[in-house]
Structure 1
Amino acid sequence: MTPIPFACIAPHGLEILEELSGGTPGLMARTRASLERLGQQMREAAPGVLVVLTPHGTRAEGQFAVTDSERVRGTVEGHGKAVTMERPVDRALARAIAHAAAADGLPVALLNFATGEGPLSCLPLDWGAIIPLHFMPEVPVVVVNPPRGTDFGPHLRFGAALARAAANSGKRVGLVASCDWSHTHAESGPYGYHAAAARLDAQVVDLTGRGDLEALASFDPQLVEDAKPDGLWQALVLAGALPPESRRTEFLSYEAPTYFGLLCAGFQSGEGG
């Protein structure tokens, strides 16, 4: 039995949640439908825990930040509405992942808040985790925030350490890489417009569709700076956790209805369940 029977790349735009879409529920409807499919596939894989890779959680500069609190809790708001989520943390798996990464010489930080355990031991759950988790089975989680930078080798190695820890745990682990892509698709967006956005996202769509996630590490740093994606780092951790010979890719959708790109893809383990 493979320890990671299903993984996915899932976006986190607020309007994906119909409750937060205001008067434009159709704005991200295609992505919403894809996430519903990914959620169904994850439920069929029956994980006992979900590891969520997010670009927006609590950060430890230059380190892989791993939750080690009793719980995580957060709220996202949009168009006058709010969605709140709370999940228990699988602390045993969180510590196993961190220890496996540290044993490989990777910089990793275990994060907690206030008290070692009990009701005050709760870290914030960010929108990068809440949006995709909204579609996933309600099981304990481990939230990981990978560091940014142009050296992607550590992310592939962290993914391999994550997979090793999952295998040693004896648990079925679902993996969610929360990724929005280029953020410079529209002049009206907070980062303005740059032609690099369409170029980078087209390459991401092509590489993901072909299952060649490792090639994301070869992007030119200037292209990344101009396009401003926030998905590269999480996608490469997923690639390290499910290497090419042990994953089957299903590309579901891509759209850029506002200033940033949204992509959904699922990855079944080739080893079966």
Structure 2
Amino acid sequence: MGILAAYVVPHPPLIVPAVGRGEERRIQSTIDAYREVARRAAALTPDTVVLVSPHAPLFRDGFFVSDAAEEAGSMDRFGAPHEALATTGDVAFARDLARRLAERGIPVADGRAGRGELDHGSFVPLHFLAAELDLDDVRVVRLGLSGLPAADHRQVGRAIAATAADLGRRVVLVASGDWSHHLAEDGPYGFRPEGPAFDAELRAILAAGDLTRLFSLDEALCEAAGECGLRSFQIMAGALEGLPFTGELLSYEGPFGVGYGVAAFAVEDADEPGEATAGAAAGPTPVDGADPLVALARQAVEAFTRTGEIIRRPADLPPELGERRAGAFVSLHERGQLRGCIGTIEPVRRCLADEVIRNAVSACSRDPRFPPVEPDELDFLEYSVDVLGEPEPVFSLEQLDPARYGVIVSHRGRRGLLLPDLEGVDTVADQLSIAKAKAGIRPDEDAEVERFEVVRHTAGGKARRG
């Protein structure tokens, strides 16, 4: 447990379609990268999202850390009052973090300073995360920046990582911030040569993952560039310090005269299955003749349900499961009724075995439609694992067959998936209707459609007791 990943994201209000009204299409690369970040974050099934925003309350000599039990916000000031969302705070995390900062001599203002109102630097990332994460389930801790030196922002990041580790939280950190505001003469802030120079430096740093360089950028360059995200990114760098991570710059563009960059940093082995964790029960011997993926899903579910621990990848698995990467869904049924189903459309882990372990744990504990599986249910569960092929675009409904192909529907950041060959789903119209409903897409809204094939693994998945 601890920091699982961190993401650099921008916060232009117009990227929200209700605000942009079509203008957001000019930053489609940013939108696509944002959606990818949301998918990756959701796949990690975090307990808490720590969100650092330049537009949260700002203090000259201290930091805002919201310990509010609930916060809410909307795009009202940008002409879209009905675009609203609410979050639940992680009060224990926020207060522990504040205590750690106080011990370091860093002043903290609590949730009363923010009045429980989400700023747009927080709202925009949450808008995208909400398409993949259930904000009723995941806790959010919102932080602001300060006028204190970069070293203090680094200390805030270190304190976030320490709090996450000590409290056993699965934490994703989101560093919200735009880059230079002086990229174009016709932009809202005009042009300065330092603008593109600063953004070029930042692109190189994030692409290389050399985050220590964030603390040695020329102060005059940063000031003249008119950036607003550097201190957010410095907090992120502090949180990742000492952790093994891989990073990539997913996108960068600035058509409106402001730099928008998206980068992702995944902590290696933060949630990486392998052998059973210390003290974790490995579970009973798999059913004879069971498919290895089904046996792995059963073992993961039973260990997590009994101990709360995530098993590590067994060493004796077939080589293909430790080498191949693919999206996968794990489905649980109890006495003929669905009891949980969670999966990943595309691979987000190192191998298929790790994908199945994590999705099995999520299916038994984090499917929002059902309460977590209890130990006395384990003998009655049935298991199946669907391994997804590569999605491909659909240009005609004649290309669909609900018995053979699953579908993915997408519209304005919302995405819904339906597996093939489901009982009661006999027509293409039924399949698309259900997939749209899962994504929150209205029946009359057009949606992009993709299809995919699956290999369903069921051998050895029957319940031990009927």
Q: TM-score, normalised by structure 2?
A: 0.54
Greater mean alpha carbon deviation, residues 87-96 or residues 179-188:
179-188
Structure 2: gaps of 5 or more residues: 272-466
Q: Which of 82, 100, 125 in structure 2 is aligned with 1:132?
A: 125
Residue 18 of structure 1: aligned partner: 17
Equivalent in 165, 171, 176 of residue 174 of structure 2 = 176
Q: 2:221 aligned to 223, 228, 236, which one?
A: 223
Q: Is the 8 A contact 1:196 1:227 kept in 2?
A: yes
Where 2:56 maps in the other structure, the secondary structure is coil
Written as runs of structure 1 = structure 2, the 5 A alignment for 1:107-126 is 107-112=107-112, 122-126=115-119
Matched, 1:3 2:9: no
1:80 CA displacement: 4.1
Q: Paired residue for 1:143? A: 142
Q: Deviations over 1:190-233 (max 9, x none)?
A: 43211100000000000000001221111222111110111110
Q: Which has the higher contact order (CA 8 A, sep 6+)?
A: 1
Comparing 230-239 and 182-191, the one that deviates more: 182-191
Q: What whole-Å deviation, never above 9, does each CA across 1:138-193 have from its counterpart, x for those lacking one? A: 222110002135x2111111111111011111111111000110011123344321
The structure-2 alpha-carbon separation of the partners of 1:32 and 1:148, relative to structure 1 and needing over 3 Å to count, comes to farther
Partner of 2:318: none
Contact 1:57 1:124 in 2 (8 A): no
Between stretches 196-205 and 180-189, larger displacement belongs to 180-189
Q: Counterpart of 2:101?
A: 101
Residues of 2 paired with 1:58 and 1:64: CA distance?
8
SS in 2 for 1:248: strand
Is contact 2:158–2:238 with CA below 8 Å preserved after alignment? yes
Amino acid corresponding to residue 182 of structure 2 in structure 1: T
Point out where structure 1 has 5 or more consecutive residues left out of the alignment: 114-120
- For the Cα contact (< 8 Å) 2:13–2:78, is it kept in 1? no
Name the structure 1 match of 2:397: none
**Is 1:187 paired with 2:185?**
yes
Which amino acid is the alignment partner of residue 26 of structure 1? R
**After superposition, what is the alpha-carbon deviation per residue over 1:32-57, rounded to whole angstroms, capped at 9, x for unaligned?**
00000000000011101111000001
Q: CA deviation at 1:77?
A: 4.5
Is contact 1:148–1:233 with CA below 8 Å preserved after alignment?
no
CA RMSD of aligned residues (A): 1.8
Q: Match of 1:132, as an amino acid?
A: P
The one-letter amino acid paired with 1:12 is H
Instruction: Tell me the amino acid that sits aligned with residue 89 of structure 1.
Output: G
CA distance in 2, matches of 1:148, 1:190: 25
Q: 1:267 matched to which residue of 2?
A: 265
- Corresponding letter in the other structure for 1:178: S
Shift in CA distance, 131/16, structure 1 to aligned 2, threshold 3 Å: same
Matched, 1:87 2:87: yes
1:85 & 1:258 partners in 2: Cα distance? 26
- The residue that corresponds to 1:52 in the other structure is 51
Q: Paired residue for 1:252?
A: 250
Counterpart Cα distance in 2 of 1:254 and 1:49: 27
Instruction: Name the structure 2 match of 1:117.
Output: none
Distance 2:80 2:127 in 1: 15
Check the 8 A contact 1:56/1:128 in 2, yes or no: yes
Q: Is the 8 A contact 2:178 2:261 kept in 1?
A: yes
One-letter code aligned to 2:255: P
**8 Å Cα contact 1:15/1:27 also seen in 2:** no
Tell me which amino acid in the other structure corresponds to 2:118: L
CA distance in 1, matches of 2:228, 2:78: 24
Q: Is the 8 A contact 1:48 1:172 kept in 2?
A: yes
Deviation at 1:242, TM superposition (A): 0.7
The answer for the alignment partner of 1:75 in structure 2 is 74
Distance in 1 (CA, whole Å) between partners of 2:78 and 2:22 is 9
1:23 maps to amino acid: G
Question: Is the CA contact 2:150–2:231 (under 8 Å) kept in the aligned structure 1?
Answer: yes
User: Are the counterparts in 2 of residues 183 and 197 from structure 1 also a CA contact under 8 Å?
Assistant: yes
TM-score (norm 1): 0.91
Q: Does 1:196 align with 2:194?
A: yes
* Percent identity over paired residues: 32
CA–CA separation in structure 2 for the residues paired with 1:233 and 1:53 = 9
CA distance in 2 between partners of 1:6 and 1:164 (Å): 14
Encode CA deviations 1:109-129: one digit per residue, 9 max, x unaligned: 22326xxxxxxx951101100
Task: Summarize the Cα distance change of 1:179–1:228 in structure 2 as closer, same or farther, 3 Å threshold.
Answer: same
